[in-house]
Amino acid sequence: MAEITLDNVTKRFPDGALAVDKISLDIADGEFVILVGPSGCGKSTTLNMIAGLEDITEGELRIGGKVVNNAAPKDRDIAMVFQSYALYPHMTVRENMGFALKLAKTPQATIDEKVNEAARVLDLTQHLDRRPANLSGGQRQRVAMGRAIVRDPAVFLMDEPLSNLDAKLRVQTRTEVSKLQKRLGTTMVYVTHDQTEAMTLGDRLAVMRSGILQQVGSPHELYANPVNLFVAGFIGSPAMNFMAGTLEEGGVSTSIGRLPLSPQLRQALESGNSGRQVIVGIRPEDFEDASLVQAADQAKGVKFRVTIDVVESMGSDVFIYFTQESGLTAKTDQLADLAADSGTAELGSAETVTARLDPTTRIKEGDSAELWADVSSMHIFDPNNGENLTLGASQAAAS
Amino acid sequence: MAAATTPVRKVEWGVANVVVIALALIPVLWMVSLSFKTPAAVLDPSFIPSAWTWSNYHEILSTTQFVRPLLNSIGIGLIATFIAVVLASMAAYAVARLNFPGKAVLIGMALLIAMFPAISLVTPLFTILRAIGLYNTWPGLIIPYVAFGLPLGIYTLSAFFREIPWELEKAAKVDGATPFQAFVRVIAPLAAPGMVTTSILVFLACWNEFLFAISFTSTIASRTAPASLAYFSGSSQFTVPTGPIAAAAVVITIPIILFVLFFQRRIVAGLTSGAVKG
C-alpha cells in the first residue's frame, strides 16, 4: 500500500531524445491510474521509471513518501506485468510464481501456500507444473498476473498486459483485472494505448502525448471536458469529429451550417472574436436522425442535410458516415498525431464525419438525409495551439 | 520447397549431394581403411584392406607416447573450454546488454585477436612462457587457448544473449533479483544451448590446435595428441609409421564425432520458446 508521487519527472535518453518531459502526477494509495496515449508518447518509459528499470534524468519520484530515484527495482516493493508477460521459460508455472518469494528467502511452506492461493484465484491450479510454452495466451497472461499477486506488493505496474490477447478474451480479462484491483485494494498504474480499456478500467486517466502529460482526470471528466484537441480526439469511440469553423456574432459557421452558441459558450468565448478561425468538435453521439428527435429537443441543436456515404448497423447503434469538404487548412500537430494514431493520416482535405444514430433510423446509404446535431455539448478549439476555448463553459454546464 | 519435388530437380539435388558427401567422406574413410591395414599393405591401393588388423591400434594404445598426449588433450581442452566459456559468457552478456564506453573498441579487439595469425605469436609467446616457467606445462597451453577461445566465445554467445527477450531480465529485477542473480538464475539457463554450442566450438579449436601444441611443449608431460602424431616413429628410422598414424588420427577424430552427435539436439532445441507471446 503506497501512494506514488511524480514530481517533474523527466527522461532524456543518452542520444538526447526527450521521452518524458516534466511529468507531475499524484497517485493516491489504492488508486487505479491509467497512463494512456498513442505509441511513443512516453507512457511505458514513465512506467519503467516508476519500476526502476529506467533512470530518471530529472525530477523526483516518491513511493510511499520515500524518494526512490536511485533505488534498485528490488528495493521499491513493486510488481510488474509485462506486455510480453516475460515468463521464465525454463521454470514451471509454480516456479515462475514463486520466484520472487524464493529470492526474498521466504520459507518454502509460505511460498507454496501463497502460490496455491494465487493459482486458485486465477484458476491455474491444474497448470502449476506445466511450462509457459505449453500454456495458451490467456493462461500465460494469468500466470504473469499471478507472479505479481503472490508478492503482495505496495504497487502493481502493468504495461499493456492485455494487448496480446484476442478481442473477446481481452474484454473478459479486463473485467478480471478490475475486480482483482478492487479486491486487493493495491495502488495500480496501468499503461495502455487503448482508450476503451483506459475508460473502462481506471479511477483516473492520465493522457500523454509526445512525453507531455496532457490531462489527468476521471474518465467522465476527460470525455466531457477535454482540455485540448488531442484529448478530445483520443478519448471516446468513435472519435470526436472535427470541423473548421469561423466565429460569428452568436454562432459559428461550419460546413454543416451555422451552429448557434449557447449562452455559456458565448460567454466563454467572450466577444470580439468575430471572424476568428476555430475548430469545432462534435462527438458522434451528439448527432441524430432529425426525424427521430423530439420536438422539445429540436431547439437545442441544428438541422442540416447531407448525403450519407456509409451506414453501419451494429444492432444497438447505427453509425453513418458522410463527407464534408474540409476547411481544416490549419492542421495542428495534435490533429496530425491523432490521424497517425488512427491510421487516417492520408485522408486529404475532405473530412469524414461519423455520427451515431438511434437504431430505429431508416437512413440508407446514398440517401440525402436530414440530421440533427446537439450543439449544447460541442467544443470549440483554437486551431493554433489546440486549446479548448469552451472549457469553462462546458464545466459550468456539467456542474 | 515446391521446386525440389519435381523428379528432375530431385535427381539434380541427389547428384550434388552425393558429390559433396563423397568429397568430405572419402579422405576420412581412406584414413580408417589405412588404420586397419598391415604395414606391408599400406601401399596397397585398394580401398578395402585385403587383411584386417587391429595391430596399429594395439601399438598406439599401448605406448605412453600416444596415451599420455591423449589425456593431455582432453584435460587441456576441457579446462581451457571451461574458463573461456565462463569468461566469454560474462563478456558477451555485457556486449549484448550494456552500453559502455569503449564497447566498440572491445568488440574490435576481440575480432582482431580472432583474426591474428597465430604463427606471428609463437616466438614472443615462446619467450614469455619460458621466462615465467610455463613452457612445457598444461597452463602454458591453457592460457593461449583461453585467449584464442574468448573472441570466438564472445561472438557466438553475444548472438545467443541478444535472442533472449530483455523483458525477462527486467522481470527478474522487479521480482527482486540483483543483476548477478538475474544473470545466473534467468539469463544463463536460457543461454545454455548457446553455451553448449560455444563450448563445442572452443573445445574443437583446442583439440585440433597444432601450432602452439608443437611449439610450447617438449615432452609428453604436456604434449597434446595432434602434436604427438608428429613424433611417431616407425619400428626403424627408415620406415614411415603410416598405419599407427592413421589409427591415432581415427582415435583423435572419434571424440569429436561423439561430441557433435551427442550435443546436436541440445544445440538445435531452443529453450526460449514460450518465453513471450507465441
- Coil vs helix vs strand at A316: coil
DSSP labels, A215-281: EEE-HHHHHH--SBHHHHHHSSSSPPEEEEEEEETTEEEETTEEEEPPHHHHHHH-SS-TT-EEEEE
Q: B151: Cβ–Cβ under 8 A, 6 or more apart, which residues?
A: B110, B111, B113, B114
Cβ-Cβ contacts under 8 Å, A80 against chain B: 170-171, 174
B114 neighbors B152 (Cβ within 8 angstroms): yes
CA A22 vs CA A308, A341, A387: distances in Å: 45, 23, 20
Q: Which residue of B has its CA nearest to A165?
A: B277
How far A268 CA lies from chain B's nearest CA (Å)? 49
Cα-trace Rg, chain A: 24
For chain B, say whether A37 makes contact (Cβ under 8 Å).
no
Taking the Cβ of residue B278 and every Cβ of chain A, the question of whether any pair is shorter than 8 Å is answered with yes
3-state secondary structure of A206: strand
User: What confidence tens digit (pLDDT) does each residue in A336-377 have?
Assistant: 777 777 655 444 456 788 999 998 888 888 888 889 998 888
- From B176, B271, B273, residue closest to A74, measured CB to CB: B176
Distance from CA of A79 to the nearest CA of B (A): 6
* Cβ-contact A262, A376 below 8 angstroms: yes
d(C-alpha B2, C-alpha A269), whole Å: 70
Residue B129 located in a structural domain: yes
| pLDDT number for residue A330 | 52
**Separation between Cα atoms, residue A237 and residue A36, nearest integer Å:** 14
Q: Distance from CA of residue B96 to its chain's centroid?
A: 24
Q: Does A319 touch chain B (CB under 8 A)?
A: no
Residue A114 phi, psi dihedral angles, 5° rounding: -70, -40
3-class SS of residue A25? strand
B167 contacts A86? CB cut-off 8 A: yes
Contacting residues of A for B165, CB less than 8 Å apart: 84, 86
B31 lies in some domain = no
In a domain, B219, yes or no: yes
| B190 near A CB under 8 A | yes
Residues of A in contact with B178 (CB under 8 A): 72, 74
CB pairs < 8 Å spanning A and B: 89
Instruction: List, in sequence order, every residue forming a beta bridge with A253; answer none if it has no partner.
Output: A246, A258
Chain A neighbors of B188, CB-CB under 8 A? none
* Residue B233, domain member (yes or no): yes
Residue A270: the pLDDT is 67
pLDDT of amino acid B75 = 94
- Cell output for A123: 484458476
What grid cell was written down for A45? 518509459
d(CA B193, CA A204): 46
Question: CA angle, A99 as apex, A118 and A89 as ends, to 5°?
Answer: 95
Residue with cell 448497423: A313
Q: Given CB atoms, is A102 within the 8 Å cutoff of chain B?
A: no
> Which of A48, A63, A74 is the best residue to mutate to test the B interface, defined by the most B CB atoms within 10 Å of its own CB?
A74
- Range 81-100 of B in CB contact (< 8 A) with A: 99
pLDDT, residue B270, reads 38
Which residues contact residue A365 at a Cβ distance below 8 angstroms, ignoring those fewer than 6 apart?
A: A308, A309, A310, A311
A74 to chain B, any CB pair closer than 8 A? The answer is: yes
For residue B190, what is the nearest residue in chain A, using CA coordinates? A90
Number of compact structural domains in chain B: 1
How confident is the prediction along chain A (399 residues), in pLDDT tens digits per residue?
689 999 999 999 888 889 999 999 999 999 999 999 988 889 999 999 999 999 999 999 999 889 999 998 888 889 999 988 999 998 999 999 999 999 989 999 999 999 999 999 888 999 999 999 889 888 999 999 999 989 889 999 999 988 888 888 888 888 888 888 888 889 999 999 988 889 988 899 999 998 999 999 999 999 999 999 899 989 988 888 888 888 887 788 888 888 888 777 777 776 556 677 888 899 999 999 888 888 777 877 888 888 999 999 988 889 999 887 766 555 667 777 777 776 554 444 567 889 999 988 888 888 888 899 988 888 888 888 888 888 765 544 443
Inter-chain CB proximity B274 and A82 less than 8 Å? no
Q: What's the rounded Cα separation, in Å, for the pair A82 and A80?
A: 6
Angle (CA) B131 B133 B138, round 5°: 130
As a whole number of angstroms, the distance between CA B175 and CA B167 comes to: 12
What DSSP letter does each residue of A165-190 carry, written as one string?
Answer: S-HHHHHHHHHHHHHHHHHH--EEEE
> What integer pLDDT is reported at residue A220 of this predicted model?
92
CB A229 within 8 A of CB A334: yes
Q: What angle do CA A64, A67, A70 make, to 5 degrees?
A: 125
CA distance A240 to B193: 53
Closest CA to A265 of A98, A95, A396, A93: A396
Chain A from 133 to 192: CB within 8 A of any B CB:
133-135, 137, 140, 147, 151, 157, 164
CA gyration radius, chain B: 23
Angle at A127 between CA A106 and CA A173, to 5 degrees: 95
Could A73 and B274 be called an inter-chain contact, meaning their C-beta atoms sit closer than 8 Å? no
Decide if B75 is inside a domain: yes
- Residue span of the structural domain in which B107 resides: 64-277
Residue B6 lies in a domain: no
Q: Torsion-angle region of residue B239: left (phi > 0), alpha (psi -120 to 50) or beta?
A: beta
ipTM (interface pTM): 0.78
Nearest-neighbour CA in chain B from A277: distance (Å): 48
Residues contacting residue B143 through CB under 8 Å, at least 6 positions apart: B134
| B271/A89 CB distance under 8 A | yes
Distance, CA of A315 to chain centre: 25
Alpha-helical runs (H) found in B62-101: 64-97
> Cell 561430441, residue?
B259
* CATH label of the domain that carries residue B114: 1.10.3720.10
Residues of A in contact with B99 (CB under 8 A): 14
* A42 Ramachandran zone, left/alpha/beta (phi>0; psi -120 to 50): left
- Contact assessment for residue B39 and residue B49, using Cβ atoms and an 8 Å cutoff: no
Note whether A25 and A193 are within 8 A (CB).
no
Q: Any CB–CB contact under 8 A between B271 and chain A?
A: yes
Q: Chain B: residue nearest A73 by CA?
A: B174
pLDDT in tens, A49-94: 999 999 999 999 999 889 999 998 888 889 999 988 999 998 999 9
Burial of B269 per CB tally in 10 Å (0-12, 13-18, 19+): exposed
Residue B99 lies in a domain: yes
The nearest CA of chain A is from the CA of B199 a distance in Å of 21
B57 inside domain: no
Q: What is the pLDDT along chain B (278 residues), one digit of tens a residue?
A: 455 578 888 899 999 999 999 998 888 888 888 888 887 777 777 788 888 888 888 888 888 888 899 999 999 999 999 999 999 998 988 888 888 888 888 888 888 887 888 888 899 999 999 999 999 999 999 999 999 889 888 888 888 888 888 889 889 999 988 888 988 899 888 888 788 878 888 888 899 899 999 999 988 888 998 888 888 776 556 667 888 888 989 988 887 887 777 776 655 543 343 344 33
pLDDT at B278: 34
Q: What pLDDT was estimated at residue B273? A: 38
pLDDT value of position A350: 63
> Which residue in B103, B174, B181, B183 has the most chain A C-beta atoms within 10 A of its own C-beta, making it the best mutation to test that interface?
B174
